[in-house]
Amino acid sequence: MKIYADNSATTQLAPEALNAMMPFLTTEFGNASGVYSFSRSARKALKDARETIATCIGALPEEILFTSGGTESDNWVIKGHIPLGRIVTSRIEHHAILNSLSYANLFCHGSAIILPVNKTGIVSCRVLETALSRKASLVSIMLANNEIGTIEPIKELAHIAHQKGVKFHTDAVQAVGHIPIDINELGVDFLSASAHKFMGPKGIGFLFCRKDTHFYNLMDGGQQESGLRAGTENIASIVGMSTALNNCCKRMQKMSKKLDKMTSVFKEMITDAIPEAAFNGDAVNRLPGHISLSIPGINGEGLLHFLDLKGIAVSTGAACNSKSTQISHVLRAIRLPVSLAKGTIRISLGANNKSEDIPIIAKSIIEYCAKTKKNT
């Protein structure tokens, strides 16, 4: 038996995406920049993929810039704004954002304002407003958190940034393909996405960059991606990404319903058996199928290995070595007590999961807790 329940880490490539990619990995190998007819299908595929992705998020095709994934998109935006002034972000961002800021401090003497979050991981509008009483070049707040699943009030936060004349970026890597996204509704200037989080291939993503927003070029070379990111396009992966995103968007409502139902069954089973268990993140504004579970008195890593032996894949919020337990920066930011943080696992359900998986995962967790209790 194998149950993969770590879809926030990565997802399985959709068969439709693989099928759409195959011609560009085999016969249709032309370079999209070529002037001869051999390149025509690659060029058309690139144009179509850009249009499809743009439609999925309410953007214009020329506002979509292809990158190698979420990390590159995040680095591009942050490092592009460092020379322009202070960057405001939050304590729960992905390391692709936070470590890009360390680079800023190291090389550009830049400074950043890192905002706190409340106990459910929400960035407060009032806190942002106060931070923006100082000059800034960019606000970057993630749309949904990868560890605790909380969805941020991006529309309100972007509005505050714009009132102060500051551009707004959102790392939407966990959200794209899973919740409805309209960049005009959100009012963001930049948005990062990564294909492998929505059943597309790994190593490909995009950055939405609003038209007429002045932006620097990441890679120097040819004229690909409007001259902003040079390098021969990875047509197969781009086609796979657009196919996967289009699929996810079409079945999003149905999928959310299915994942919500599975989540409530799981929560009920766990709460009945382990009343002291806690669920992290915002209870309402959260990613479908995303569960951050903390059980006091257990070791999250031990539980992960126990589940792994049963063929169930989940992830933890704390990593132990022989001397100490490293609690993730996100769990520290929400001020989760150490005993709970140490016993935290993340279960992220996806399209691959069946309702039969839920009792198997829940019963295995309950079994581990009963064993642990008996031994203490």
What's the min distance (Å) between Cβ of 154 and ligand PLP?
A: 13
Which of 125, 209, 249, 320 is the catalytic position?
A: 320
What's the min distance (Å) between Cβ of 196 and ligand PLP?
A: 6
Task: Select 175 or 303, whichever has its Cβ closest to ligand PLP.
Answer: 175
Looking at residues 193 to 252 of the shown chain, list those that interact with ligand PLP (rule: CB under 6 A): 194, 205
- Given the DSSP bridges, would you call strands 64-67 and 205-209 parallel, antiparallel or unpaired? antiparallel
Return the range that interacts with ligand PLP (CB under 6 A); candidates 29-37, 83-91, 170-178, 331-339: 170-178
Size of the site for ligand PLP (CB under 6 A): 13
Looking at residues 119 to 158 of the shown chain, list those that interact with ligand PLP (rule: CB under 6 A): 142, 146
288 forms part of the interface with ligand PLP (CB under 6 A): no
Mark whether 320 is an active-site residue.
yes
Task: Select 70 or 121, whichever has its Cβ closest to ligand PLP.
Answer: 70
258 forms part of the interface with ligand PLP (CB under 6 A): no
Site string for ligand PLP, 54-93 (x = CB under 6 A): ---------------xxx--x-------------------
What's the min distance (Å) between Cβ of 368 and ligand PLP?
A: 26
What's the min distance (Å) between Cβ of 241 and ligand PLP?
A: 11
What's the min distance (Å) between Cβ of 347 and ligand PLP?
A: 15
94 forms part of the interface with ligand PLP (CB under 6 A): yes
Active centre residues (catalytic): 320
Residues forming the site for ligand PLP (CB under 6 A)? 69-71, 74, 94, 96, 142, 146, 171, 173-174, 194, 205
